[in-house]
Chains A and B, each alone.
Chain A
Amino acid sequence: MSRLIKEYKTINAQDDILLFPETADNLNNWTAMITGPPNTPYEGHDFKLYISIPDAYPNSPPMVKFHREAMPHVNVNYETGEICLDILKGEWSPVYNLLYTVQSIERLLSEPNADSPLNLELGILMREGDKTAYDSLVRYYLQRQK
């Protein structure tokens, strides 16, 4: 818990990523806003992340999700918003923090990984190497939400 307070203090000074606890008196649920990286179909869109901190944090990774039906991405389950990322599972280390986790997810947007698809539709397109179709389908999903 004291470590989360420390993280809260340092994060306030950071401006490039919005990361804040949902309520000021409870540091177990956080929200983050990431912006779509330039030169990706996500450019110009903002995405909300829901972070919940397990009791064993930092020895267990935080649980991070996108809003349901908001993130068309090969490593994100579209219906639930669940994210498949190694550092959120077996590759977690207690020296990572919330900011690093959110930055990694932002990087995942520009570097999708076809080896562990949670979105089969996009996974098939990516395996076939059809980047144009992949990007178009992502854009279509994003457009439909507006």
Chain B
Amino acid sequence: MKVRVKEVYPIFAWSWDTYTESTDLHNNDPLHNKYPNKINNETYTFLKNYRNDIDDVCGICRVSYNGVCPNCKMPGKSCPLVVGTCNHNFHYHCIYRWLDTVNSKGLCPMCRQEFTLKPDVVINAKHTQKFMELISKNRERRLMMEREERELNDDLNMDEEDEVTRDAIDNAAGATEAWTQVPQDISDEEEDMTYDDPIE
């Protein structure tokens, strides 16, 4: 029998190169161990998990890493995946929107450490620049908040000190007055009483 190939449809696929739980699953796969050279590691993992529910998802939008954030349509460099120094991955837009809220305090939603981009993972320059601006804005905001808090504490301490010194002065003044006045008061009262008694 003779087979003639009339047409060929090449299909390409890609996925973000991240460490995921499925990487582990794949490495333990007996098929992979039996034919390590025949099945290319990355392609195999990818085809097995292509935009699949078992794949790891972005913690913020719950869409697969290989998918897109809810506001984008095409996965790829316009909506990249970013990796933090804490090794937590999110869609660029998802983590950007979170870090842009005051509530976030610039911290990773998973581990509450400061979220910064892992230096050896490269995303396109425009995104990186925008992200770095946001991170420095958050740092400034945090420093300002810390400073305000410190000033507030200082003010409180100052007030307390003021009160203490003012009280001390008042007490001292009161004490001296008391020393000088008390005997007079008593003598006045005694005099009054001596005048009152005979009348009654």
Contact = CB atoms under 8 A, between A and B. Distances in A.
Given A3-B70, A6-B62, A95-B59, A60 B101 contact: yes
Interface string B46-80: 00000000000001111100000010000000000
B98 A59 contact: yes
Interface in B83-133: 94, 97-98, 101, 103-104, 109-110, 112
- Interface secondary structure of A, over-half rule: loop
A90 interface: yes
A1 B71 CA distance: 10
Given A90-B103, A93-B112, 16 more contacts: A1-B70, A2-B63, A3-B61, A3-B62, A3-B70, A6-B62, A58-B60, A59-B97, A59-B104, A92-B103, A93-B109, A93-B110, A94-B59, A94-B98, A94-B109, A95-B59
Contacts of B109: 93-95
Interface of B: 59-63, 70, 94, 97-98, 101, 103-104, 109-110, 112
Contacts of B110: 93, 95
Interface of A: 1-3, 6-7, 56, 58-60, 90, 92-95
Contacts of A1: 70
A59 B60 CA distance: 8
